[in-house]
A and B are shown apart, each in its own frame.
Chain A
Amino acid sequence: MPGRSLTRIVALGAIAALSLTACANGSDSGTGTTGGDAPTDLVISTDLPLQGASASTSESTNNLIQLYLDQVGGKTGKYNVKLKTYDDSTAAKGAWDDAACAKNATDHVANASEVAVMGTFNSGCAKIEVPTLNRDTTGPLLMVSHANTNPGLTKTWETGEPEKYYPAGKRNYARVVTTDDYQGNAAAAFASADLKVKKCFVLNDNQTYGLGVARAFADAAKKTGIEIVGEQAWDVKQPNYTALFQAVKASGADCVYLGGIYDNNGGQLIKDKAAVLGDNSQVKLLGPDGFTGYNDLLKLPQADGLYLTFAGLTTDQLIAAGGPPAKLIEAYKTKYGAAPTGNYPLYGVAAMQVILAAIAKSDGTRAGVTNAVLSGEGITIPKAESVTGKEIKIDPASGDTTAKDITVELVKGGKETFFKSQSVQ
């Protein structure tokens, strides 16, 4: 063995040495070509989970953004822009992966022609990437998310948030979706004014998103005079929730709020709710946008009468309203033969619109693009151009969108139907 392992080491060393000499030879011909005028060819990247459960949504988002860029001729202001896609998931995990996010963040910073990042899909991933982009000495590098709803990224939430994500002391993150707390507030206002419920039982899936909306709903509901008779987590891996809903029944609740996402065994939850507490016309059932966009949910007869809140307008509504979103989706259907998956691809384009507007306003540098969004008066996309069918205005102080309209949907006859528009303070 000593002999063999030695040969191996020697071989490795030889390879290393060879590559050293090879590189040493090559280094003479290498010359730096940095400096000079601001480049006119800029790259915008997307950073999405391209594998696992969110893969189809992410793919649609990339395709729709590319389609939009083609439609505007790949130009904004005096700059040509190109799209580069990054994957922040690994197949082994089937979801976003912290190491992949960290690596992408480094790559965004290292890729000199990149001026902004559209993404990420998951708030947890953004929390890893934002500090790295923030430390970029040529920036900070701007990130605009179409789907991060965790409040902590932009406002005071958990201890140390949001300051700990901006070690350089300057903001570089914006988003075009409203945060979980607004959704909770809207649902609470709706429950008290329209559904006139008195006692609510709040459930959560014990994950960041679910806890956030559940907490926001409970806090807001208390303020509107609804009594919170219980707050509990549902165990994602449990085969049934009969016992849980027996406890809800005993508490005398006339409304149940499901803070979480449908993927976390939401189907079983909805079935058992109906089995124990009766259909949704008796004990009202409410959920956040983590339950929207699932065909499996809509097929459940027990889901009939479920109220869902969603930040912004749904794809169906947008098509019905006509204008830029309808045109974009029409073009997408012609090209790919089907509508984009879920409601997030359109918000991806909305985030891209913010980035494009920022680049047009800037001097083409990273710092310039970031400043265009997060200083001065910020970025506003007028209603006539916006792909969300509404004006998009980014607050330059926080990076949050000022549009706080929440749509309340009612699941009826296997469809998410528009119920009312709920604005929040």
Chain B
Amino acid sequence: MATSTAPRTSAPSPSRRSLSHYRWPIGYVVVIVGLFLLYHFILPNLVTQVSGPVTAWLPVATLNECLMWAIMALGLNVVVGYAGLLDLGYVAFWALGGYTAGWLMAAPFNWTWDFHLFGAVAKTYPGTHITFWLVILIAGVLCAILGLIIGAPTLRLRGDYLALVTLGFGEVITQFFRNSNDIAGRNLAGGDGGISIIDPIGTGPFGATGLVPPGLSNGAQDNVYKILVLGLLVGACLFISLRIREGRLGRAWLAIREDELAASMMGVPLVRTKLLAYAVGAFFGGIGGVANAAGITGAVSPSGFDFGKSVLVLLMVVLGGMGNVWGVTVGAFLLAWLNSNGLKQIGVQLDSWFGTTLTATLPRYNYIILGLLLVLMMLYRREGLIPEKRTKALMNTPSRTEMESMGAESLEAAAETAAVEKADAKTDAGIAASAAAVSPVLDESTPKREDRS
């Protein structure tokens, strides 16, 4: 879908284009492989004075958690950031993904058959054991279907009402799994205790060579390899996010986000576009769920899927910059780190400087700190840490209605002049071009397009 609406005028020379296409993937691979090498080869060989602080501030387990949250945040970014549909129940997909891992790659909780398909555990081990890589896809597809199912009845709703329905949905899923030990007399998912232990991540051919452990469980060494696995998943999510945004579907989402009515007037099929936003977002959520269950916790239980998690993911998206994948990824890293290890470590540091006893107490102020952070963001940087260009442009344009309500037409003219002075010609061209791509009629007047996120 990305290629069908390629820019028609003055495309940059092929060599420059291909290079610019590979810029971020190369940078990303360098970062992930760099992190892997850092934790795998470099830190273990250093004196503890050097390696100690690094592992204290960002332990491997926390890094993996951050990567996992990045998958979630990228998924929610599709729904909230791209399509502008406020979703407060995103944890539902995370839960379903996790439970899919529980069903397909775990020690038995009540099933009586044994089934192995490239599983990472010995063939003699009872239970269902399908390889992580297949389960990711299955969970993604299952969640996408679930996304369509919740998306369908909520299509007529907007704003607050939609948020309420999704909120309810998130709660329902958790309750369903809590009561799942007795659904019509059958134990479907182990009830409140959930399902444990979930298989380690299988490394397949790499494991067979003996260079990597055959299954990545929760050990310190295995966790280092998980950087690569989770990094790969985050990379895939980034890639999909960026490519879809470029294409017809992505631009249709943005159009709906800016103005639903206008978008439908321009011929954007609202139903299909919104449903696809849910489905794609849910697909990512499913991947995140499996990554969490198999890669981080090794178990799933309903208590892990509370409303707080939905809010946390939403905060990551808002704080990072709705719609901008890089912003969202940074937001996910920042908040996941603060929640998991950051505040604790800041407490440790403050204690060692000032002799206080904040190590145990500082994390308790998590919500106050997050709240303050959010209020400050809304006051001074509403568009997020790394804002999306469109959002920023919109926020810089003075609101027409505000001016009109003051009843001064002359003011309006002045404001428009100011807006023109402030506006960046390149930015405007980009926005116009993406609008043109959704509706070709507008294309005539736009000479050039360079809108890439």
Q: Which residues of A contact B (CB under 8 A)?
A: 1-2, 5-6, 8-10, 12-13, 16-17, 19-20, 23-24, 26-27, 29-31, 50-51, 55, 59, 85, 87, 90-93, 95, 97-103, 105-107, 109-110, 124, 127-128, 131-132, 135-136, 150, 152, 158-160, 164-165, 167, 206-208, 211, 233
Taking the closest CB of chain A, its distance from the CB of B314, in whole angstroms, is 13
CB distance from B167 to the nearest CB of A (A): 15
| Interface members, chain B 167-224 (any A CB < 8 Å) | 178-179, 181, 190-194, 196-197, 217-220, 223
In the complex, whether B47 has a CB less than 8 A from a CB of chain A is yes
Q: Which residues of B contact A1 (CB under 8 A)?
A: 389, 430, 451-453
Within 8 Å by CB of A158, from B60, B109, B389, lies B109
**B267 interfacial contact with A, CB 8 Å:** no
B218 touches A132 (CB 8 A): yes
* Residue B260, interface by CB 8 Å: no
Given the interface pairs A1-B389, A13-B31, A50-B360, the reply to whether A99 lies near B297 with Cβ below 8 Å is yes
Residues of A within 8 A of B220 (CB): 106, 109-110
Contact in complex: A128, B298 (CB < 8 Å): yes
Judged by a CB distance under 8 angstroms, whether B59 is at the interface is yes
Using A103-B61, A132-B217, A160-B107 as known contacts, say yes or no to A91 and B364 having CB atoms under 8 A apart.
yes
Residue contact A59 to B360, C-beta cutoff 8 Å? yes
Given contacts A1-B453, A95-B303, contact A26 B298 (CB under 8 A): no
**A168 vs chain B, min Cβ distance (A):** 11
Instruction: Check B37 against A20 for contact (C-beta < 8 Å).
Output: yes
User: Which A residues touch B367, using CB under 8 A?
Assistant: 91-92
Give the A-B contact count at a CB cut-off of 8 A: 193
Q: A51-B364, A90-B339, A102-B61 are in contact. Are A12 and B27 (CB under 8 A)?
A: yes
Which single residue of chain A is at the shortest CB-CB distance from B181?
A211
* Residues A91 and B343 in contact, CB atoms below 8 Å apart: yes
In the bound complex, do residue B298 and residue A131 qualify as a contact, i.e. CB atoms below 8 Å apart?
Answer: yes
B8 CB, min distance to chain A CBs, angstroms = 19
When the two chains form their complex, are residues B24 and A5 in contact, meaning their CB atoms are under 8 A apart? yes
What is the distance, in angstroms, from B57's C-beta to the closest C-beta of chain A? 12
Complex: chain A residue closest to B23, CB-CB: A6
A30 touches B24 (CB 8 A): no
Q: Identify the 10 closest CB pairs spanning chains A and B, nearest first.
A: A9-B27, A16-B34, A91-B366, A23-B42, A103-B61, A98-B297, A164-B107, A110-B220, A27-B45, A132-B218
Which chain A residues lie closer than 8 Å to B43 at the CB level?
23
Indicate with 1 or 0, residue by residue over B83-95, a CB within 8 angstroms of chain A CB atoms: 0000000000000
Alpha-carbon distance between A128 and B343 when the two chains are bound, in angstroms: 23
Task: Check if B4 is an interface residue, CB within 8 A of chain A.
Answer: no
Kindly identify which residue among A8, A10, A87 contacts B344, using a CB–CB cutoff of 8 Å: A87
A102-B298, A106-B220 given; name 20 further pairs at CB < 8 Å: A1-B389, A5-B23, A9-B26, A9-B31, A12-B31, A16-B34, A20-B37, A26-B47, A30-B45, A31-B47, A90-B366, A91-B363, A98-B296, A102-B297, A106-B219, A127-B193, A128-B299, A135-B219, A164-B196, A165-B196
A87 pairs with B360, CB closer than 8 A: yes
Chain A residues with Cβ below 8 Å from B118 are none
Bitwise interface map of B from 372 to 398 toward A, beta carbon under 8 Å scored 1, else 0: 000000000000001001000000000
Contacts of A165 in B (CB 8 A): 196-197
A61 CB to nearest B CB, Å: 12
- What residue in chain B is nearest A31 (Cβ atoms)? B47
Contact A159 B109 (CB under 8 A): yes
Q: How far is the CA of A207 from the CA of B302 in the complex (A)?
A: 10
Cα(A99)–Cα(B364), bound, Å: 17
Q: Can you identify 7 A-B contacts, CB atoms within 8 angstroms?
A: A2-B23, A12-B27, A124-B193, A128-B298, A158-B110, A164-B108, A206-B179
Q: When the two chains form the complex, which single residue of A55, A93, A158 contacts B308, counting CB atoms closer than 8 Å? A: A93
Cβ–Cβ < 8 Å partners of B344 in chain A: 87
Is the Cβ of A211 less than 8 Å from the Cβ of B340? no
Chain A contacts for B50, CB-based, 8 A: 23, 26, 30
Q: With A13-B27, A17-B34, A127-B196 known to touch, is A24 a contact of B42 (CB < 8 Å)?
A: yes
Structural contact, A132 and B45, CB atoms closer than 8 A: no
Residues of B within 8 A of A24 (CB): 42
A234, chain B: closest CB distance, angstroms? 12
By secondary structure, the A interface counts as helix
Please name the residue on chain A nearest to B430 by beta carbon: A1
CB-based contact A16/B35 at 8 Å: yes
Q: A164 near B197 (CB under 8 angstroms)? A: yes
Is B77 close to A, CB under 8 A?
no
Residue of B nearest to A85 (CB): B360
Known: A26-B50, A91-B343. A132 touches B24 (CB 8 A): no
Q: Is B133 an interface residue (CB 8 A)?
A: no
Cα(A12)–Cα(B35), bound, Å = 11
Shortest distance in angstroms between A287's beta carbon and chain B's nearest beta carbon? 18
Q: B409: shortest Cβ distance to chain A, in Å?
A: 35
Given A10-B27, A17-B34, A160-B108, does the pair A2, B299 have CB atoms closer than 8 Å? no
User: Within 8 Å of chain A (Cβ to Cβ): is B115?
Assistant: no
Give the residues in chain B near A31, CB-CB below 8 Å: 47
Q: Give the CA-CA distance A23 to B34 in the complex, in Å.
A: 12
Contact indicator per residue, chain B 20-53, by CB within 8 Å of chain A (1) or not (0): 1001101110110011011000110111001100
B100 in contact (CB, < 8 A): no
Q: What are the residues of chain B within 8 A of A160 when measuring CB–CB?
A: 107-109, 126-127
A-facing mask of B293-324, CB < 8 A → 1, else 0? 00011111101101011001000000000000
Q: Which residues of B contact A26 (CB under 8 A)?
A: 46-47, 50
A83 to B316, CA, bound (A): 36
Chain A residue at minimal CB-CB distance from B69: A99
Q: Which B residues touch A152, using CB under 8 A?
A: 193
Pick from A5, A27, A59, A101: contact of B42, CB under 8 Å = A27
B residues less than 8 Å from A150 (CB atoms): 193
Residues of chain A lying within 8 A (CB to CB) of residue B452: 1-2
Q: Which residues of B contact A59 (CB under 8 A)?
A: 360
Within 285-299 of B, Cβ neighbours of A (below 8 Å) are at 292, 296-299
A207 touches B192 (CB 8 A): yes
Interchain nearest-CB distance for B385 vs A (Å): 11
Across the interface, which residues of B come within 8 angstroms of A6, CB to CB?
20, 23-24, 27
Instruction: State how many angstroms separate the Cβ of B172 from the closest Cβ of chain A.
Output: 13
**Measured between C-beta atoms, what is the minimum distance from B296 to chain A in Å?**
5
Give, as a whole number of angstroms, the nearest-CB distance from A316 to chain B: 28
- Most-contacted residue by chain B among A51, A136, A160 (CB, 10 A): A160
Give min CB distance, B185 to chain A, whole Å.
13
Q: Is A98's CB under 8 angstroms from B109's CB?
A: no
The smallest C-beta distance from B204 to any residue of chain A, in angstroms, reads: 20
The smallest beta-carbon distance between A41 and chain B, in angstroms, is 15
A394 to chain B, nearest CB (A): 24
Q: Which residues of B contact A159 (CB under 8 A)?
A: 108-111
Residue of B nearest to A209 (CB): B192
Contact B110 A131 (CB under 8 A): no
> What residue in chain B is nearest A103 (Cβ atoms)?
B61
A31 to B31, CA, bound (A): 27
A9 to chain B, nearest CB (A): 3
Q: Which residues of B contact A135 (CB under 8 A)?
A: 217-219
Chain A min CB distance to B437 (Å): 16
Contact with A along B318-361 (1 / 0, CB 8 A): 00000000100000000000011101100000000000000010
CA of A59 to CA of B366 in the docked complex: distance in angstroms? 19
Cβ distance B123 to chain A, nearest Cβ, rounded Å: 15
User: Would A9 and B28 count as touching, CB distance under 8 A?
Assistant: yes
